[in-house]
């Protein structure tokens, strides 16, 4: 039933936990997906890179093969004809359309092997050729080098215009050419030079030479030696690296696909060996290995020479692949997860708030906030359930109504906090006594309800009541002050006193009221006590009629001065002379009248009849002051003072002949309003006395504010005074204090001589009681007055 237990099933699936879980799962999922995408993209990139490398390699190799073919086709020219002229060579090379079809070829040419002994004949031949058809060739710079047994002279080179400088050069003298020349000669295959610098226009550019050996036709070339002897020269091509590679790809590889191509002569990837760099930034020698960069180095054989081709991806390559896709996905995944988390959390928190709120509301609806005990509704509900369950069974259920006596006094003197602290301690004390099936509830104020079930009869219920009273009577510690308090307990039993929960509650209430009045501690409900019994209801319906028909009668009880025994006045006490029931005492109908609006006409009826009698006594020469009892509710009626004044005038009674008796509790209900009305009455000259003093919660100091002239000590103290020393002390101190405050004291309920004597010793002012005179009808009281009024007054 307690709050934490109610919420406990939800603890495993705490809404916040669900939100966190969803957040974690979606985060993990988007992470996985992003990772997957990344892998995928990387795989794709890698494949693309590999393809690009393969394609590039294939293109290069194809181009190289084409160059080889070109050289071969040129060599075929020489094999086909004994003596190729420079004109023929020029025509042939022109037909190849080198600039368009073979970018990168700077020149094609023919190197002729000339023995020392042929030198002169060869020179003559060239001169002759130059004379008949120069074709743009300069005059032959014959044999700039001397002292060789043979020469390797460039005799044709095309296009001649930009290659004049090569014409006639003895190539063997060039160390860069010597090795490939010898290799070509010995192998019979095309040979490439290492990196050389080629003069192109007025620029030096990186390049290389390809050389193809030419042998004398018709000779077996099956050994190196034979080849060496059969060699007649070389067909050669000069290549410009940049033009070559850019020619292969149409434009730079980098701008094409984002891969940097660097070509190195040999196996060392150094700047010195660099033949070609696509983006002019050397990446191959970068020490730092970037993880996302792909690299591949491939070696190819170019005319017996190793070239290293290095491929490296550049950022543009990766960009084109949407590498960001995975990051983008991850970021949006995180965002989405967070959003989802927020949405779930907000909804979940709302839901849990609602749940908590509902639980709190439910708890509030069924519990008392101060004591945390269940409230009246809850108790009634449980009682209802119990009665249904127990229907037909022999066992009983009891309802105990517990009310604290003098709680208001503690509240007023020690403060509300102490009062609250006391109320909070009641629950734990009584719960110690209770069984699991019993229910304790705070009904409101200082009132508690205790349902006891099962129970076997009235006796067990009264034992419980005594235990409860005992437990409450144990001292309370409130802020270091020890306080003792009594409780009144009313007992109602099911099924004897009522069949349903609300009837039982009302019965327990009635019994509690009786217990309080009787000062007995507890009382078991009896139908006769019940003001709501059918008899009471029937009496109530007749009261108006009773007033009209003069069934109500006033009895009067004299009050005397203790000092001299003289009458000081009479108290009017009402009786109902019922046509069927006979004389009904006021206690049987006044509480009912007090709870209805009839109290106003009723009180005015009493005042009017008391004044009527007062008038008669005055007219009969027995001037007697009359006291009338006023109910608590009359003190809420602001018209009362004027009504009283009007009645006094109507019956020509001076106000000092009327006294109004008000109980302490009447003032306590609404002190401000009571004070206002009492003040007005006092201003009209009417005297006020406090009735039943000592049973309520007011203190004498409190009464000082009120325009009161007399104080009536309650009969409960007076009647026991002779036996109970405590009561005597209370009477004595009340008398002393009242005198100090300028008040007169009347003792009610004087039933014997002894009491009267003690009161006289205690300096009490007046007395009233059966010993002096019982309340008696008008005729009798008039007679009594006649006998007791001092003759001197006449
Ligand atoms: P109360 O104002 O305290 O009136 C005194 C009650 O004590 C009277 O009871 C009276 O008969 C009784 N009594 C007087 N002397 C003795 C004694 O020596 N011993 C004992 N045991 N009792 C004594 P009663 O007349 O039955 O009235 C009961 C209560 O009803 C009154 O208590 C008063 O509160 C109320 N009451 C009576 N008449 C009226 C009335 O006209 N208007 C209102 N509002 N209340 C009235
Ligand atoms: Ca009275
Ligand atoms: Ca009284």
Nearest CA to ligand 1 atom 33: 629
Residues with CB under 5 Å of ion ligand 3 are 691-692
724 vs 704: CA distance, rounded Å: 28
DSSP label at residue 269: -
Peptide bond into 634 cis (omega under 30): no
Ligand with an atom nearest the CA of residue 664: 3
Distance (Å, rounded) from C-alpha 20 to C-alpha 26? 10
pLDDT in tens, 298-337: 998 888 888 999 988 888 877 766 667 777 877 888 888 8
The gap from C-alpha 313 to its chain's centroid, in whole angstroms, comes to 52
Q: Does the N-terminal peptide bond of residue 454 adopt cis geometry, omega within 30 degrees of 0?
A: yes
What is the mean pLDDT of the segment spanning 643-665? 94
The pLDDT of residue 272: 84
Residue 356 DSSP symbol:
H
- Cα–ligand 3 centroid distance for 504 (angstroms): 31
Average pLDDT over residues 97-122: 85
The residue whose CA has the least distance to atom 23 of ligand 1 is 749
Show the ligand 1 pocket: residues with CB < 6 angstroms.
557, 572-574, 585-587, 590, 606, 629, 631, 661, 691-692, 715, 749-751, 769-770, 775
Using CA atoms, how far apart are residues 2 and 372, in angstroms rounded to an integer? Answer: 10
| Closest to 563 in 3D by CA, of 790, 764, 784 | 764
Report the pLDDT value the prediction gives residue 699, as an integer from 0 to 100: 62
Query: What confidence tens digit (pLDDT) does each residue in 61-77 have?
Result: 888 888 888 888 888 88
**CA proximity to 507, closest of 486, 488, 487, 529:** 529
Closest CA to ligand 1's atom 11: 775
Question: For position 680, what pLDDT does the model report?
Answer: 95
Substitution site in 586, 691, 722 for ligand 1 pocket (most atoms within 8 Å of beta carbon): 586
pTM for this prediction: 0.45
Q: Which of 26-30, 383-387, 571-575, 678-682 has the lowest mean pLDDT?
A: 26-30
Tell me how far the alpha carbon of residue 559 lies from the centroid of ligand 2, in angstroms: 11
pLDDT at 20: 82
Most confident of 18-27, 42-51, 205-214: 205-214
Assign 6 a pLDDT band (cuts: 50, 70, 90): very low
Task: Tell me the average pLDDT across 184-200.
Answer: 87
Q: Which tops the pLDDT comparison, 778 or 257?
A: 778
Question: Among 609, 629, 712, 747, which residue has the most ligand 1 atoms within 8 Å of its CB, making it the best to mutate?
Answer: 629
Q: Which ligand places an atom closest to the C-alpha of 749?
A: 1
Q: What is the pLDDT of residues 219-239, one digit of tens each?
A: 888 899 999 999 999 999 988
Q: 705-737: per-residue pLDDT in tens?
A: 889 999 999 998 898 888 888 888 889 988 998
Q: What is the pLDDT of residue 700?
A: 64
Under a CB-based contact definition with an 8 Å cutoff, are residues 566 and 586 in contact?
Answer: no
Q: Which atom in ligand 1 lies closest to the alpha carbon of residue 628?
A: 41
Question: Residue 696's pLDDT band (boundaries 50, 70, 90)?
Answer: low
Mean pLDDT for the chain?
86
Dist. CA 570 → ligand 2 center (Å): 10
Distance in Å, CA 738 to ligand 2 centroid: 18
In angstroms, rounded to a whole number, what is the distance separating the alpha carbons of residues 107 and 200? 10
What average pLDDT does range 496-524 have in this prediction?
A: 85
703 Cα: distance to centroid of ligand 2 (angstroms): 17
Q: What is the mean pLDDT of residues 173-191?
A: 88
Query: Region 765-791: what's the mean pLDDT?
Result: 93
Higher pLDDT pick, 80 / 785: 785
Distance between Cα 590 and ligand 1 center (Å): 11
How many angstroms separate the alpha carbon of residue 775 from the centre of ligand 1? 9
pLDDT of residue 784 exceeding 80: yes
> What is the tens place of the pLDDT at every residue in 129-162?
888 888 788 777 766 666 678 888 888 888 888 8
- Tell how far the Cα of 757 is from the centroid of ligand 2, in angstroms: 22
349-366 pLDDT per residue, tens: 777 778 888 888 888 888
**H-helix segments, 367-456:** 376-389, 407-414, 416-433
Compute the average pLDDT of residues 655-679: 86
Give the position, in ligand 1's atom list, of the atom nearest the Cα of 585. Answer: 26
Q: Which ligand is nearest to the CA of 594?
A: 1
Indicate if the pLDDT at residue 414 is higher than 80: yes
- Rounded-to-10 torsion of CA 711, 714, 719, 724: -100
Q: Which ligand is nearest to the CA of 696?
A: 3
Distance 573 CA to ligand 1 centre (A): 6
In this model, does residue 756 exceed pLDDT 90?
yes
Residue where the block lists tokens 């434009």: 251
pLDDT of residue 12: 47
Q: Are 624 and 785 in contact (CB under 8 A)?
A: yes
Residue 8 has a pLDDT of 44
């Amino acid at each position: 039933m307690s709050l934490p237990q109610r919420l406990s099933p939800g603890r495993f699936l705490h809404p916040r936990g669900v939100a966190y879980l969803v957040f974690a799962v979606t985060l993990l999922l988007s992470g996985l997906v992003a990772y997957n995408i990344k892998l995928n993209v990387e795989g794709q990139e890698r494949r693309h890179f590999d393809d690009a490398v393969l394609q590039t390699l294939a293109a290069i190799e194809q181009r190289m093969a084409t160059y080889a073919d070109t050289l071969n086709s040129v060599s075929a020219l020489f094999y086909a004809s004994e003596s190729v002229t420079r004109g023929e060579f020029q025509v042939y090379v022109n037909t190849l359309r080198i600039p368009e079809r073979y970018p990168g070829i700077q020149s094609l040419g023919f190197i002729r092997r000339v023995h020392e002994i042929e030198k002169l004949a060869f020179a003559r031949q060239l001169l002759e050729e130059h004379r008949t058809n120069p074709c743009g060739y300069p005059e032959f710079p014959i044999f700039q080098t001397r002292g060789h047994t043979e020469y390797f002279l460039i005799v044709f080179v095309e296009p001649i215009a930009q290659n004049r400088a090569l014409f006639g050069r003895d190539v063997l003298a060039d160390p860069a050419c010597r090795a490939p020349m010898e290799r070509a000669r010995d192998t019979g295959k095309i040979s490439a030079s290492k990196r050389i610098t080629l003069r192109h226009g007025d620029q030096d550019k990186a390049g290389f030479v390809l050389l193809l050996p030419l042998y004398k036709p018709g000779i077996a070339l099956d050994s190196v030696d034979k080849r060496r002897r059969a060699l007649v020269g070389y067909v050669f091509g000069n290549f410009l690296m940049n033009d070559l590679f850019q020619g292969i790809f149409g434009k730079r590889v980098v701008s094409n696909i984002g891969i940097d191509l660097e070509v190195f002569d040999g196996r060392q990837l150094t700047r010195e060996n660099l033949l070609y760099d696509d983006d002019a930034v050397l990446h191959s020698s970068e020490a730092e290995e970037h993880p996302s960069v792909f690299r591949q180095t491939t070696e190819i054989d170019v005319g017996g020479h190793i070239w290293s081709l290095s491929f490296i991806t550049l950022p543009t390559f990766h960009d084109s692949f949407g590498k960001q896709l995975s990051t983008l996905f991850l970021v949006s995944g995180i965002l989405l997860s967070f959003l989802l988390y927020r949405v779930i959390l907000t909804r979940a928190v709302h839901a849990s708030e609602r749940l908590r709120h509902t639980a709190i509301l439910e708890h509030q609806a069924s519990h008392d906030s101060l004591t945390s005990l269940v409230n009246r509704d809850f108790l009634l509900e449980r009682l209802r359930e119990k009665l249904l369950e127990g229907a037909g069974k022999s066992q009983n259920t009891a309802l105990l109504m517990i009310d604290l006596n003098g709680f208001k006094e503690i509240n007023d003197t020690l403060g509300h906090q102490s009062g609250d602290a006391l109320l909070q301690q009641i629950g734990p004390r009584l719960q110690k006594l209770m069984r699991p099936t019993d229910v304790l509830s705070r009904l409101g104020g200082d009132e508690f309800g205790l349902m006891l079930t099962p129970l076997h009869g009235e006796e067990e219920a009264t034992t419980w009541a005594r235990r409860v009273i005992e437990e409450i009577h144990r001292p309370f510690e409130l802020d270091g002050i020890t306080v003792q308090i009594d409780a009144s307990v009313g007992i109602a039993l099911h099924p004897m006193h009522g069949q349903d929960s609300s009837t039982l509650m009302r019965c327990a209430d009635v019994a509690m009221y009786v217990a309080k009045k009787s000062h007995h501690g507890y009382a078991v409900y009896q139908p006769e006590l019940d003001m709501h019994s059918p008899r009471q209801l029937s009496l109530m319906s007749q009261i108006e009629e009773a007033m009209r028909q003069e069934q109500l009668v006033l009895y009067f009880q004299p009050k005397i001065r203790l000092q001299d025994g003289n009458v000081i006045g009479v108290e009017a006490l009402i009786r109902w002379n019922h046509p069927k029931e006979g004389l009904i005492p006021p206690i049987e109908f006044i509480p009912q009248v007090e709870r209805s609006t009839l109290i106003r006409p009723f009180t005015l009826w009493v005042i009017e009849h008391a004044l009527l009698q007062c008038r008669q006594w005055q007219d009969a020469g027995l001037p007697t002051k009359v006291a009338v009892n006023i109910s608590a509710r009359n003190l809420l009626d602001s018209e009362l003072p004027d009504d009283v004044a009007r009645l006094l005038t109507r019956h020509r009674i001076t106000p000092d002949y009327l006294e109004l008796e008000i109980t302490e509790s009447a003032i306590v209900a609404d002190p401000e309003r009571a004070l206002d009305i009492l003040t007005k009455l006092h201003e009209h000259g009417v005297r006020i006395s406090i009735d039943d003093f000592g049973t309520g919660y007011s203190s004498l100091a409190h009464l000082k504010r009120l325009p009161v002239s007399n104080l009536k000590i309650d009969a409960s103290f007076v009647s026991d005074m002779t036996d109970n020393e405590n009561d005597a002390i209370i009477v004595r101190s009340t008398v002393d204090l009242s005198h100090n405050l300028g008040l007169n004291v009347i003792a009610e309920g004087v039933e014997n001589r002894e009491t009267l004597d003690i009161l006289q010793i205690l300096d009490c002012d007046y007395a009233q009681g059966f010993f002096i005179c019982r309340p008696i009808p008008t005729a009798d009281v008039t007679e009594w007055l006649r006998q007791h009024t001092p003759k001197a007054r006449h």
